[in-house]
């Protein structure tokens, strides 16, 4: 009870997931030498000419993942009900907060594709889902490392559903019992499977706005 008076204020704050379904907000899972962490991925679209901007002290691999994610969404525009003109009339800005922290690696690809699909289709992302997975241009989801640490971070943040690559399904058995009990792991082989789970249908207000 008196730990704080002895040691001082907590150095690390307890992580929390997004509490509200929202357009352009996705929770990704990251790994570092210090362990797993949740990572907010945000995106907006602004009037423009089809450009893309990435901020948040991102490495070259992550920037390439953003470009790959946008290209995939373009190929699935019909299925996602995104009008072709959207890509010509708007720019996409992807941002990962905590700009003082360098971020790199391909495992955010699935989250990046989801957040871009969300803003371009005007569909909210379910807040109780986090994800990790590298993607290809055709939408295949590739295996990643550090799943145990990432899953623990998701559990610590109160996330109930975690989307993972199908190839990492075998790693679930290594999870602590409390994580396996509280977290629903959803293995996927393709981005479209994640989008079906994550993206909500457009509300009447959004449909009217789009029209």
So which residues are the catalytic ones? 107, 150
Distance (Å, rounded) from C-alpha 61 to C-alpha 127?
Answer: 26
First-to-final CA distance of the chain:
57
Beta bridge partners, 164, equal 187
DSSP label of 125: B
Q: Give me the helix-helix angle, 109-121 and 60-75, nearest 10°.
A: 50
Give the residue from 27, 52, 199, 201 showing the smallest Cα distance to 111: 27
Q: Which of 112, 26, 30, 24 is nearest to 67 (CA)?
A: 112
Q: Which two tokens stand for residue 160?
A: 């109930």
Helix crossing, 191-198 with 109-121: angle to 10°?
50
- Integer Cα distance of 193 and 210 in angstroms: 24
Token code pair at residue 95 = 């941002």
Position of tokens 């899953």? 151
């Amino acid at each position: 009870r008196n730990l704080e008076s002895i040691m001082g204020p907590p150095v690390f704050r307890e992580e929390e997931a997004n509490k509200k379904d929202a357009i352009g907000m996705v929770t990704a899972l990251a790994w570092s030498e210090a362990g797993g962490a949740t990572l907010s991925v945000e995106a907006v679209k602004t009037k423009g000419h089809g450009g893309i901007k990435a901020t948040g002290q991102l490495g070259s691999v992550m920037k390439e993942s953003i470009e790959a994610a946008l290209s995939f969404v373009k190929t699935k525009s019909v299925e996602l009900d995104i009008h072709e003109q959207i890509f010509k009339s708007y720019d996409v800005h992807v941002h990962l907060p905590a700009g003082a922290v360098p971020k790199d690696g391909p495992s955010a690809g699935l989250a990046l594709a989801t957040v871009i699909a969300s803003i371009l289709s005007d569909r909210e992302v379910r807040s109780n889902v986090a994800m990790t997975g590298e993607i290809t241009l055709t939408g295949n989801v590739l295996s990643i490392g550090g799943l145990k640490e990432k899953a623990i971070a998701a559990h610590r943040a109160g996330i109930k559903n975690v989307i993972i690559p199908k190839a990492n399904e075998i790693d679930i058995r290594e999870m602590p019992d409390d994580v396996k009990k509280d977290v629903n792991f959803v293995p996927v082989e393709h981005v479209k499977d994640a989008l079906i789970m994550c993206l909500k249908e457009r509300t009447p207000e959004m449909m009217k706005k789009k029209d």
